[in-house]
Structure 1
Amino acid sequence: MNEAGSINTRMVVGLGMTGLSAARWCQRRGYAFDLCDTRPALVNIEQIASEFPDARIFLGDQVSGELLASYDQLIVSPGVPLTLPSIQQAVSQGASVTGDIDLFRQQCDKPLIAITGSNGKSTVTTLVGELLQAAGKSVAVGGNIGVPALDLPQADIYVLELSSFQLETTRALGAQAAVILNLSEDHMDRYQGMNDYLTAKQRIFQAAQHTVVNRDDAATMAPGGKADLSFGLSAPTDAAEFGLSVIDGEYCICRGDAVLVKSSELKVKGLHNLANVMAALALVELAGVNSADVIPCLKSFTGLEHRCQWLGERDGVAFYNDSKGTNVASTLAAIDGLGAATEGNILLLAGGVGKGQDFSPLASSCGQYAGALFAYGEDKQQIADAVAGQCEVSLYANMDEAFRAACDSAKPGDAVLLSPACASFDQFKNYAERGQHFCRLVEAVL
């Protein structure tokens, strides 16, 4: 079945940002399409109907297998599981399934830098875009961060953050350079296990011209073991490796024997961020830019909101917003990265919806760096049970109560860190709203 030949009818499944970008893509090409969403009501339904006047819209129980099976192609949004019985029924009756990234590649013949991973992908994607722009490239950055791929402007090179959900419907990526930054347990409410999750992530390497791997995580290796460049926290042994060398008592980012930048010259902190920086430099190299030429831009990079974001200090106590820490691995990275650089203890605020995660890996790092854990939200008890005996643990109904208790406990040299290890939707709309709320709490005490 080709794109414009035997596909006569299309259904866009899921009407979030990505789904609506797919609808615009269809509309620009004059394709016949309809829209659907399994939610029974949408707050923006009038705007959607106005933007796509020729499309029929189906919601809630109207979205049946019989309905979806009546279309040649389903353009499925990342947030919609392909395992839904209605989608499975349609596929069994001959409907094809695609997603926004496959559609993007149909229209784009420019180089693509593709980035995925359990943690750090937004930081790396943003940084790669800024470094390429500093090198004089015309760059568009988006995908799972910011602007959906199908809504991006024309550019000479594209840098896309890709989620495992997006990769499930991607069949012909062909990136100039691709990387899985790391892999840890996440989205276990959607996948049957880590192997299922890894299979989705590894689709990023389909027909990739070049690959980058994390030497510290074997799961990031492309099938077949091929890698053009690597990064890791160990010292590099040759020019194909980015790594950390200790020079005069300080971590320095090196490529082979060449020292590129001292950690003290960077505005982003923590070992996890040094790994992110090295990944970005490797990708920039594979995009045709000498990594040494973009170091001045790298030194000015301040990181992203809600990702180990330093908010300020009061009476010797530092406050960090890592609301983007939505899984155990990202919270571990924040604790370990900041803990090693903190004179006192980490006072950790964690909690929310655990998505079926195992919280036990937090125990060791909390024992090493956390003076206390202030757990709140829906899965607070599971988190508390996982770290019991490693540090002081107390439970609270919400973040506000946990924050007040942390402030009361803090001593000079300590760091109050929000890194929830959970999704936010028990008490907040998303991680950004959660982070903004934490920022307001901190502003009130500074």
Structure 2
Amino acid sequence: MAKDGFDLVIGLGVTGRSVIRYLTDQGMPVRALDTRAEPAGLEALQAEFPAVKIHTGGFKPGWMKKANRLIVSPGVAVATPAIAEQIVEGKEVIGDVELFARAASEPLVGITGSNAKSTVTTLLGQVADACGMNPGIGGNLGVPALDLLNDDARLYVLELSSFQLETTYSLSADVATILNVSQDHLDRYASFADYLAAKQRIYDGCQVAVWNRDDLATRPPESVPKQITFGAHPEADYRLDSESGQLLCRGELLLSLSDLALTGHHNAMNILAVLAISDALSLNRDKALATVKAFTGLEHRCQLVADKGGVRWFNDSKATNVGATLAALTGIGESIEGKVILVAGGQGKGQDFSPLAEPARQYLRAGLLMGEDRSLLAQGMSAAPCELVTDMQAAVERAYALAQPGDAVLLSPACASFDMYKGFADRGNDFIRRVQEVCDD
């Protein structure tokens, strides 16, 4: 490193702050910039690191040229001209996960996918914790990767986005997985192929690749030393047998779907992925099975919040778009004997609700719709019986009256919450509170 050189941190969000903290702890000279004029938490950052020079409101060409390397936050595309220019000049451009990979000495699991990353990361972390591994759990979820290095972890479990993987070169995970791939982030990538290529970087240098046998886009290159598959495909190593309702490992019974607190095909896939990774790490299988059986999901993501009188209540308030509600409605509708009572509505953000029409017709006992765009949502689900309600209390009370044994009541709004709530968590908590009121009577 040049005597008067420095590392330049680009982006002052949670990740950027963790990078500054890590580099200063290492005694490295650091400067930082953010293209926003007033990034949140700027004053606190300046107070914590008074020796770090900070520039806001754009890129600073002189700093870009003089920096020894650029450490770019995932929210900033490396294709940005000011950064791409430095790459052409041969400058090293990396992210926080690359710094982490160079420093970490314990086994590492990397988890990516278009959906379910957080669920699988959290559940695998719980399994590892039950097995006494004191896991460091974070990355794209919760704690920034670099902040995990001081936790005396015996295993790292990282959720990784395609944005983080773009700037990661030496992850070399002990176990790596792509859970699934669907079109996403095409506002940042030139094509789906580019997005997939970013995801596939997680397999670089890995020892074991765990991939979805039902989704060939998740398949690793042949150079990976060992591959393990999961899915409903008959050739999957860890398989869901839908006819028998069993989760199997190469023909051996692991669990029955009826053993699980989680419901739905999509959650069965998540659990298979966790069990496959757990076995690849040689974690105690009995403890792993006990942990996955008890898992009720993440808050506000198809979270089981009550089970009374043969009716299960699910909080999926995080479903703020049609695609998320479609997955939840189909997943739960396929897995129960009865019907779904859907609580939905809010700010539709100009979405087309018609994709919900067929699953609503097939699975709904009723749709209870509230909020700003409830009428538009009703039009989209016109093939199913829908009622307009005033608020969450009215929706839950009506759902309680309509529900029959074997049914599920699902809050999965397909809409933003800001017409009635501070955010999706506030909405989900209101649902839980109202459910407790009717179920405790």
TM range (shorter): 0.7 to 0.9
SS at match of 2:410: strand
1:347 to 342, 346, 369: 342
Asked if structure 2 preserves the Cα contact closer than 8 Å seen for 1:125 and 1:159, the reply is yes
**Following TM superposition, by how much is the alpha carbon of 1:263 offset from its aligned partner in structure 2, in angstroms?**
1.7
Residues 23, 275 of structure 1: alpha-carbon distance in 2 compared, 3 angstrom cutoff:
same
SS at match of 1:170: coil
Matched AA of 1:230: T
**Following TM superposition, by how much is the alpha carbon of 1:319 offset from its aligned partner in structure 2, in angstroms?**
3.5
Residues 174, 403 of structure 1: alpha-carbon distance in 2 compared, 3 angstrom cutoff:
farther
**2:104 maps to which residue?**
108
Matched AA of 1:349: A
Query: How do 1:212-227 and structure 2 match up within 5 A?
Result: 212-224=210-222
Alignment size in residue pairs? 431
Asked if structure 2 preserves the Cα contact closer than 8 Å seen for 1:65 and 1:87, the reply is no
Please say which of residues 301-310 and 185-194 is displaced more in the overlay.
Answer: 185-194
**How high is the TM-score relative to the length of structure 2?**
0.84
Asked if structure 2 preserves the Cα contact closer than 8 Å seen for 1:102 and 1:173, the reply is yes
SS at match of 1:159: strand
Asked if structure 2 preserves the Cα contact closer than 8 Å seen for 1:376 and 1:402, the reply is no
Please say which of residues 20-29 and 132-141 is displaced more in the overlay.
Answer: 132-141
**1:368 maps to which residue?**
362
Is 1:185 the counterpart of 2:178 in the alignment? no
Asked if structure 2 preserves the Cα contact closer than 8 Å seen for 1:7 and 1:73, the reply is no
Residues 80, 353 of structure 1: alpha-carbon distance in 2 compared, 3 angstrom cutoff:
farther
Matched AA of 1:411: L
Matched AA of 2:17: L
Query: How do 1:165-314 and structure 2 match up within 5 A?
Result: 165-224=163-222, 228-234=227-233, 236-237=234-235, 241-245=237-241, 250-289=244-283, 291-292=285-286, 294-312=288-306
Alpha-carbon distance in 1 for matches of 2:363, 2:271: 24
**2:32 maps to which residue?**
35
SS at match of 1:36: strand
Q: Which deviations, in whole Å up to 9, do the C-alpha atoms of 1:339-379 show, x marking residues without a partner?
A: 1316223315256577x988765444333223437475689
Residues 290, 223 of structure 1: alpha-carbon distance in 2 compared, 3 angstrom cutoff:
same
2:410 to 413, 417, 427: 417
Residues 422, 64 of structure 1: alpha-carbon distance in 2 compared, 3 angstrom cutoff:
farther
Asked if structure 1 preserves the Cα contact closer than 8 Å seen for 2:368 and 2:395, the reply is no
**1:121 maps to which residue?**
117
**1:87 maps to which residue?**
83
**Following TM superposition, by how much is the alpha carbon of 1:21 offset from its aligned partner in structure 2, in angstroms?**
0.9
Asked if structure 2 preserves the Cα contact closer than 8 Å seen for 1:243 and 1:254, the reply is yes
**Following TM superposition, by how much is the alpha carbon of 1:189 offset from its aligned partner in structure 2, in angstroms?**
3.4
SS at match of 1:185: coil
Is 1:73 the counterpart of 2:95 in the alignment? no
Please say which of residues 342-351 and 157-166 is displaced more in the overlay.
Answer: 342-351
SS at match of 1:97: strand
Residues 37, 444 of structure 1: alpha-carbon distance in 2 compared, 3 angstrom cutoff:
farther
Extract unaligned runs of 5+ from structure 1: none
Q: Which deviations, in whole Å up to 9, do the C-alpha atoms of 1:193-245 show, x marking residues without a partner?
A: 432321221111111111111111121111349662111124x55xx711123
Alpha-carbon distance in 2 for matches of 1:359, 1:185: 19
Asked if structure 1 preserves the Cα contact closer than 8 Å seen for 2:11 and 2:34, the reply is yes
Alpha-carbon distance in 1 for matches of 2:246, 2:145: 35
**How high is the TM-score relative to the length of structure 1?**
0.83
SS at match of 1:306: coil
Residue identity (%): 42
Is 1:435 the counterpart of 2:428 in the alignment? yes
Asked if structure 1 preserves the Cα contact closer than 8 Å seen for 2:128 and 2:283, the reply is yes
Aligned-residue CA RMSD (Å): 3.5
Q: Which deviations, in whole Å up to 9, do the C-alpha atoms of 1:373-400 show, x marking residues without a partner?
A: 747568996x777x4554357899xxx7
Asked if structure 1 preserves the Cα contact closer than 8 Å seen for 2:341 and 2:410, the reply is yes
**Following TM superposition, by how much is the alpha carbon of 1:188 offset from its aligned partner in structure 2, in angstroms?**
3.4
Matched AA of 1:419: S
Residues 132, 406 of structure 1: alpha-carbon distance in 2 compared, 3 angstrom cutoff:
closer
Please say which of residues 296-305 and 48-57 is displaced more in the overlay.
Answer: 296-305
Asked if structure 2 preserves the Cα contact closer than 8 Å seen for 1:347 and 1:406, the reply is no
Alpha-carbon distance in 1 for matches of 2:4, 2:208: 33
Residues 51, 430 of structure 1: alpha-carbon distance in 2 compared, 3 angstrom cutoff:
farther
Alpha-carbon distance in 2 for matches of 1:426, 1:26: 42
Asked if structure 1 preserves the Cα contact closer than 8 Å seen for 2:181 and 2:218, the reply is yes
Alpha-carbon distance in 2 for matches of 1:373, 1:82: 44
Alpha-carbon distance in 2 for matches of 1:32, 1:38: 21
Alpha-carbon distance in 2 for matches of 1:170, 1:379: 44
Matched AA of 1:156: R
Q: Which deviations, in whole Å up to 9, do the C-alpha atoms of 1:225-273 show, x marking residues without a partner?
A: 9662111124x55xx7111236xx7512111221111222222222211
Asked if structure 1 preserves the Cα contact closer than 8 Å seen for 2:320 and 2:415, the reply is yes
SS at match of 1:110: coil
**Following TM superposition, by how much is the alpha carbon of 1:157 offset from its aligned partner in structure 2, in angstroms?**
1.6
1:12 to 9, 13, 16: 9
Alpha-carbon distance in 2 for matches of 1:426, 1:104: 41
